[in-house]
Structure 1
């Protein structure tokens, strides 16, 4: 934690001045690409197995394969390479919910540069521990959200003469992230559209700047969730706004206020902002595991979730790239996410049914269920705290089905054979999508109506 004798003065981020925003240039992104080559992985562009289902030629930019599991390595490597010898001596400090912190710790250690990261209490415990494991780096837990963690980091920077590095707005960070755009165009020269997760804006600012320079007709879509929509609101009001963020499956996007330089840089380069509900993000994580055989964290899964939710019908028949920005997901959260997604899709069904308390009743019930191919995951009889007659037993059941159709078949079957059966209501999100769409930013907008 911070020392007790910290000055009452508050630190400010001199690299992100609201009165003097800096717009990222393609030439600087190209220079960053040359700086990080051979150090940061040139990630593959993977052909999707799910593309045919959604009527498009779909690809994934696999940033989850980076050494620390996210795209943030690019910016971290570039910004540290741009420091002066004096700055390297005193070191760097940053605030992050996880991925940027991991990248800074790793590359600072590699370059023998002192590094301190400030993380909010809401950050992933797994990412906190990974940062601590990188020797020589100090981890400070402070504040309830990234805004509070950031101010504390700025105060520490002022006291200790360290350079504060904004993980989504320092221009050298944005330039590093923009190298993804160069790689995508090189790997898929005829790309039609790129979907990019958006938190503070650094990733999309860099990618959009690079791609629009190399292939101006490529459409760039920024993706946010219904809990992490700071950039969408900022663009709607044309000024940086602060939003409150509660717990979110897309923690990498949990930025209360977008960056100064990022906001200035994306104007005229991003075609559309899309907001997708977090239920769809959980389903995206599940389907990527099942169909693509790899794990993507919530922030990265927003891109495929948007396609699954049917929010981009205009991209059918086109070559589309989803940026999978990271793969650092706490196993406990992943497990919960998978089961929640299965429940949303009707593949896990919870219900109560009252059976006659006689020999063979349980066997008869289980046989009835298994005959239609349904698996019973949990089966708990309750004889005491029930309101039915004394010679009846209430059973709580969790069953696994193949999807909504079989869930309905199971519901109809149980209700037909047993008078007292109560099913947990299926989520409407399994059938209907009602997500909001952000403001259209394109000079000549493509019609987004279904």
Structure 2
């Protein structure tokens, strides 16, 4: 443990904010980082009935706030440590922050990245002067190799968040915020490992405790929320990967010590709400945030739901290192996140003119999608997307359909429908089969789909399969497997043994309507 880390541990909890205030004021981050803008968001401010600002950390040389903490940590090293060099494990923004910081200080930097890391991120690290070592298929494997290199070759391991020097570097954002806009009611901060919110919260609470500091996490990666409820850091069983910049299973020990004292509350949001926030940022600033970068604004919007008081609020746009191809997914989901699109399963008569009569019933409402396949029998299930103004209009549509005898179900919150079924062709099997349906997630790289099928083997018959490349770090598959009666336990054990995330979704309403 470094002397600085020991000093943080030895500081009484009630004095942590003041201790970090001093570290933040002394942090020389501007040798590499820059003061970023605090931009007003006029369109969204008008919509939410308050005054909003966005702290633009996408303007940093590495398009992420991570540069601040990395530089502050590396510049604090001794001469001997600098001469030996540094090592870090990262597949994203921390890697670029360490590489550029080391280059500015003339220090050798080795960055261990999973072999599945997209080439665009590998090239970015190399451009900033980092030596890239590709190792393993996941961050955990890469991190263990980085620790091995540190021990074997004498490198200093630069942590992404769990370090007082890193926290102090990130805390300079709080310093700039209060200099740029003194009158704030609350500041919204994205949370991954906790380094950013710890630094910002410590600075703000040391100077103006009346300003609320609110952490924002994805619903499926809420490690700070879990730690606050438990009273200590805990490991999440698994985390969602959409906002990969904050996909952390356990909050850092040093950040948690600060968060317990200085963070007022935590808000969680869905992936669709994050997509909607990406769109809001673009419409007001023309900046394109990565999902983790838009997280804080998504939380701000969730916080403002149902509130009519005039407030002055700021959110941190933490990064913009987004894979361009993933924007397709963001675009598709943002309207759902705003509650401005609904997807429904509707049963209509299997006869000529049924679709026309259904559209006539909806009147001038915009239909965004209509999926249908001829089926046997007297009725058919259709998949319909509708443009709506919100929950009230959706309820009115539901009442209208009931009034005219159209059986239907709202699938707007059904992940299977939104991610897979709306893009699939075909229909129901010609005969009843004992089929189990699964969501499978695996690291995305060339040959990944073939590797997945090879691991699956030939014991189980694939009865349904849908894969779509979203330009993300992980591939997503919807898969049906034919399971003979009595072998359900064997199938579950077989899938549990695979090194993949596999979740059964046989009860999905969209599957029952369209595919079973």
TM-score normalised according to structure 1 size? 0.76
Match of 1:209 in 2: 202
Find 1:67's aligned residue among 47, 61, 64.
Answer: 61
Structure 2 residue aligned with 1:91, among 65, 85, 108? Answer: 85
Partner in structure 2 of residue 426 of structure 1: 412
2:387 to 388, 398, 401: 401
Query: Contact 1:339 / 1:348 at 8 angstroms: preserved in 2?
Result: no
Which range is displaced more, 37-46 or 63-72? 37-46
Residue 48 (structure 2) pairs with residue 54 (structure 1)? yes
- Partner in structure 2 of residue 81 of structure 1: 75
Alpha-carbon offset, residue 162 of structure 1: 0.5
Q: How far 1:239 sits from its partner (Å)?
A: 2.2
Structure-2 change in CA distance of 1:175 and 1:271 (3 Å): same
**Structure number with higher helix proportion:** 2
Aligned equivalent of 2:492: none
Please identify, of 152-161 and 290-299, the stretch whose mean Cα deviation from structure 2 is larger. 290-299
Structure 2 equivalent of residue 265 of structure 1? 258
Which residue of the other structure, out of 185, 188, 197, is the alignment partner of 2:178? 185
State the Cα deviation string for residues 80-114 of structure 1 (Å, max 9, x = none).
32233332222111123411112112232344422
* Post-superposition offset of 1:125: 6.3
Q: 2-side partners of 1:264 and 1:376: how far apart?
A: 48
| Cα deviation code 1:124-182 (max 9, x no counterpart) | 66534533454442143435344x44333212111111110111022221111111011
The 1:277–1:349 alpha-carbon spacing in structure 2 relative to 1, beyond 3 Å, is closer
Q: Work out the CA distance in 2 between the residues paired with 1:366 and 1:216.
A: 57
> 1:234 deviation in Å?
2.2
Determine the structure 1 residue equivalent to 2:326: 333
- Separation in structure 2 between the aligned mates of residue 376 and residue 205 of structure 1, nearest angstrom: 43
Q: 8 Å contact 2:191–2:215 — kept in the other structure?
A: yes
Task: Classify 1:249/1:121 alpha carbon distance in 2 versus 1 (closer, same or farther; 3 Å).
Answer: farther
Deviates most, 198-207 or 117-126: 117-126
Structure 2 matches for 1:341-360, cutoff 5 A? Answer: 341-344=334-337, 345-347=339-341, 349=343
In the superposition, relative to structure 1, how do residues 319 and 250 fare at CA in structure 2: closer, same or farther (>3 Å)? same
Structure 1 residues 351 and 133, CA, compared in 2 at 3 Å: closer, same or farther? farther
In the alignment, does 2:19 pair up with 1:30? no
Specify the alignment match of 2:221 in structure 1: 228
Partners of 2:113 and 2:142 within 8 A in 1 = yes
Of stretches 164-173 and 17-26 in structure 1, the one that deviates more from structure 2 is 17-26
The structure-2 alpha-carbon separation of the partners of 1:36 and 1:62, relative to structure 1 and needing over 3 Å to count, comes to: same
How do 1:20-419 residues align onto structure 2 when only pairs under 5 Å count? 20=9, 25-32=20-27, 35-37=28-30, 39-49=32-42, 50-120=44-114, 126-142=120-136, 144-146=138-140, 148-310=141-303, 316-344=309-337, 345-347=339-341, 349=343, 368=360, 372=364, 374-377=366-369, 382-383=373-374, 386-388=375-377, 399=385, 401-404=387-390
Size of the aligned set, in residue pairs, is 406
Tell whether the 8 Å contact from 1:380 to 1:395 is kept in structure 2 after alignment.
no
Question: Aligned-residue CA RMSD in angstroms?
Answer: 3.7
- 2:220 is paired with a residue of what secondary structure? coil
Would the aligned equivalents of 1:132 and 1:139 in 2 still touch at CA under 8 Å?
A: no
